[in-house]
Structure 1
Amino acid sequence: KVNEKMRMAPMAKRLAELLKQPVNTVGDCIGADVDASVAKLNAGDVLMLENTRFYAEEEKNVTEFAQKLAKNAKVFVNDAFGTAHRAHASTEGVTKFVDHKVAGFLLQKEIAFLKGAVDAPKRPFAAIVGGAKVSTKIPVIESLIEKCDKIFIGGGMIFTFYRAMGLNVGKSLVEEDFIPMAKQLMEKAAAKGVKFILPTDVVVASEFKADAQSKNVSVNDIPADWLGLDIGSASLENFKAELKGCKTVVWNGPMGVFEFEQFAKGTFGVAHALADITDAGGITIIGGGDSVAAVAAAKLDKRMSHISTGGGASLEMLEGKVLPGVAALDDA
């Protein structure tokens, strides 16, 4: 189904600016119009095809559609790390019908950093996992427990862990169904000798608003009608102290609601700690999603070793999964 807002014309315009040459466009990605446009190309000319997602066959990875996509190609370069965890026609299916299928420079860099962090990290190796829900991060936390020396937990998910510890969390976000799993993760980390670090204090708010009343309290003293929206000041200092000296740090997910200024201190504080680690020669990897936005908001993106362009793809790679879009390429 065609979505006018998702057409490739703006991308073609920007690519032309970057290449300093015209970029031709065509209103489809398969079929007679594409064949005709390709036939007109001279050596060095560039043609941008239309968005493959306008066809349902793209996400279903239909073989016939992939074959049509590949019809005019001899070499396939995949540089879309953000979709490499999906086996779609344009990421995986098309590779079966071209002579050469290779990684682009960005994909190569993503694999080098993320796979390197998982397979052979410089130690001590720490992971910082944040975000609102523990349910979305369980597989990556489980995997990191097998590989890390220290795991730091922040964001809304901490309250599910506190509930697993028998604490009252007021009106903070809790995933009731995942309380037993949170308990298991803590036990698993302890059994492996992995330091599992939760905040000892939090910033709580009277309501979920940028200008809400707020105060810093111990995790043992969260008021019944308040909700936690950031890690506390003592916890931030403890996180910084525990991170100091780490040689590899992977960060996925903010420490609090950093979009609201008064609940951004934890997230920005961690970002500054990572920037210092990079400056000291350590490897810092920002694993996609909201952490990337947070690092950019803190204006520290230039002081990180690697900022991943993929949310789901980064998580799956950190879990040690093989990404279909990568597995389909030729071995280097």
Structure 2
Amino acid sequence: MKCCKKLSIKDVDVLNKRVLIRVDYNIPMDIQGCILDNSLIIASLPTIQYCLKNKAKSIVLISHLDEPGGKPQQNLSLGPIANELNRLLGKTIQFLPNCVGYDVERICNMAKDGDIILLENLKFHPEEDLIIRRRMNPKVHYNENFKKYINSLSNLGDIYVNDAYSLSHLEYTSMLKLKIPIKVSGLLLKRELDVISLTLDNPKLPFVAIIGGLDLKENCDLIYNLLEKVNMLIIVGNLAFVFKHVLNNIKIGMSEYDEVLVNFVNGVIEKARKYKVELFFPIDYIIANKISKDCKVGITNDNHGIPDGWIGVDIGPKSNVIFNKIILSAKTIFWMGVAGYHEIDKFSKGTRHLIESISESTLQGAISVAAGKDTVKAIAKYKAQNKICHISTGNSKTFEFMDCNMLPGVTTLSNKI
């Protein structure tokens, strides 16, 4: 990554200005509309509070939630988020049941004295992800409603703020096409870009990355790109079993496998050799006959492999010792992806040991960055949020951009002079 060359909210004067903030409130809620994880809401507060402190005329928050298919769905309303913002900020948040149109523009333009307004789910309108759909299908065309959608959102602010790093790799209309002349990063996005740029651009060595997760393909591109940056790469999670099988013909039982990944594995080995990166995989693993709390549990290693009818669910104790030593040798650590099915206690030790090792290394002076929803959830589970330097809201797709200035949601921001 290169140092971000875009304006941040601290580079402009928000005094008496209407500030439109694109946030990421795509958070989990149950069927009753109760919020299950408010961490993304909390992450957005510093920018909102900055605008209040510096006497912005009004603050309008826009976001999407899930995939409603371009039409209103009551169970995907942002209404409950307005209540949570009210509780967190101690300030009345006005919620509007739409995000564009005459009534929305009229109410937002009447706001004053630091009024905060949260608009309804952007994806209740098909225009929000029209650019993405058109890229996937050239037969999808821009239409008059697309222009109206852009114009209506553009009428809501004097300053546009992108504070959604986790979405900045995506081409959402609200992030790319608004006609507001001043476009800046929020405090959350700015911190993300600064920390990640520092970590990947000029890391203290040795630089160790730990990549895991349960989805086989989610982190493949990230792994391939990181090989140009790191000294050592630890691969855990379900993808580790794919490497084991392809490289050493180790039996992996019922563990997830995809023949399509054979070329990827061989490509990683070749690139690691080119960049002199040391690769590490588990040498022993916890296995189970099913992914369930009432399963049978065992342990095996490279010599015996995973028997038929069993699944690899976590890394074993000998692997934990090896990885601990590697992590403690690091000066820079990047971690994305859990070691196994950590939400079941029987399968959580590997992930917990990674957290403990990274925390200890951080205490000794290493710079540590963790990212990914499951990773962040695990860190919270073991109350280690204050033991890691930076917990990112980003995901594998945002980190695939080795130059932060190339993220679609960042390219459209105003340049520093």
Same fold (TM over 0.5): yes
Segments of 5+ residues of structure 2 without an aligned counterpart are 1-70, 132-145
Inter-partner Cα distance in structure 2 for 1:321 and 1:266: 35
> Does 2:214 correspond to 1:132?
yes
Inter-partner Cα distance in structure 2 for 1:9 and 1:235: 46
> Does 2:297 correspond to 1:199?
no
Please show how residues 171-182 of structure 1 align to structure 2 within 5 Å. Answer: 171-182=254-265
Inter-partner Cα distance in structure 2 for 1:92 and 1:220: 53
Inter-partner Cα distance in structure 2 for 1:219 and 1:208: 21
Inter-partner Cα distance in structure 2 for 1:37 and 1:238: 60
What is the Cα deviation at residue 298 of structure 1?
A: 1.6
Inter-partner Cα distance in structure 1 for 2:364 and 2:222: 27
The partner residue of 1:163 within 225, 245, 253 is 245
CA change 1:319–1:133 in 2 (3 A) is farther
> Does 2:309 correspond to 1:225?
yes
Q: Which residue of 1 aligns with 2:319?
A: 235
SS in structure 2 opposite 1:90?
helix
Q: If the length of structure 2 is used for normalisation, what is the TM-score?
A: 0.75
Q: Which residue of 2 aligns with 1:68?
A: 152
> Does 2:320 correspond to 1:244?
no
SS in structure 2 opposite 1:254?
coil
Contact residue 129 and residue 253 of structure 1 kept, 8 A: yes
Q: Which residue of 1 aligns with 2:95?
A: 25
What is the Cα deviation at residue 318 of structure 1?
A: 5.4
**1:155 counterpart letter in structure 2:** G
Please identify, of 30-39 and 97-106, the stretch whose mean Cα deviation from structure 2 is larger. 30-39
Contact residue 398 and residue 407 of structure 2 kept, 8 A: no
SS in structure 1 opposite 2:173?
coil
**1:220 counterpart letter in structure 2:** N
**2:75 counterpart letter in structure 1:** K
CA change 1:45–1:241 in 2 (3 A) is same
Please identify, of 144-153 and 224-233, the stretch whose mean Cα deviation from structure 2 is larger. 224-233
Deviations 1:156-202 (A, max 9, x none): 11111111122222222211221232122123212321010011111
Inter-partner Cα distance in structure 2 for 1:32 and 1:67: 11
> Does 2:366 correspond to 1:282?
yes
SS in structure 2 opposite 1:76?
strand
Q: Which residue of 2 aligns with 1:80?
A: 164
CA change 1:321–1:331 in 2 (3 A) is closer
> Does 2:105 correspond to 1:35?
yes
Inter-partner Cα distance in structure 1 for 2:281 and 2:237: 10
Please identify, of 177-186 and 314-323, the stretch whose mean Cα deviation from structure 2 is larger. 314-323
Contact residue 63 and residue 93 of structure 1 kept, 8 A: no
Aligned residues: 330
Inter-partner Cα distance in structure 2 for 1:39 and 1:134: 47
Inter-partner Cα distance in structure 2 for 1:244 and 1:231: 18
Inter-partner Cα distance in structure 2 for 1:296 and 1:133: 21
CA change 1:318–1:126 in 2 (3 A) is farther
Q: Which residue of 1 aligns with 2:408?
A: 324
What is the Cα deviation at residue 312 of structure 1?
A: 4.3
What is the Cα deviation at residue 107 of structure 1?
A: 0.6
Inter-partner Cα distance in structure 2 for 1:93 and 1:70: 9
CA change 1:224–1:22 in 2 (3 A) is closer
Inter-partner Cα distance in structure 2 for 1:111 and 1:3: 34
Q: Which residue of 1 aligns with 2:342?
A: 258
The partner residue of 1:15 within 68, 85, 93 is 85
Equivalent pairs: percent with the same residue?
30
**1:326 counterpart letter in structure 2:** V
What is the Cα deviation at residue 106 of structure 1?
A: 0.7
What is the Cα deviation at residue 19 of structure 1?
A: 3.5
What is the Cα deviation at residue 11 of structure 1?
A: 2.3
> Does 2:178 correspond to 1:108?
no
Inter-partner Cα distance in structure 1 for 2:385 and 2:329: 21
SS in structure 2 opposite 1:91?
helix
Contact residue 118 and residue 320 of structure 1 kept, 8 A: no
Q: If the length of structure 1 is used for normalisation, what is the TM-score?
A: 0.93
What is the Cα deviation at residue 226 of structure 1?
A: 1.9
CA change 1:319–1:169 in 2 (3 A) is farther
The partner residue of 1:185 within 257, 265, 268 is 268
Inter-partner Cα distance in structure 1 for 2:245 and 2:76: 43
Please identify, of 313-322 and 273-282, the stretch whose mean Cα deviation from structure 2 is larger. 313-322
What is the Cα deviation at residue 261 of structure 1?
A: 1.0
> Does 2:379 correspond to 1:295?
yes
The partner residue of 1:120 within 171, 188, 202 is 202
Contact residue 313 and residue 323 of structure 1 kept, 8 A: no
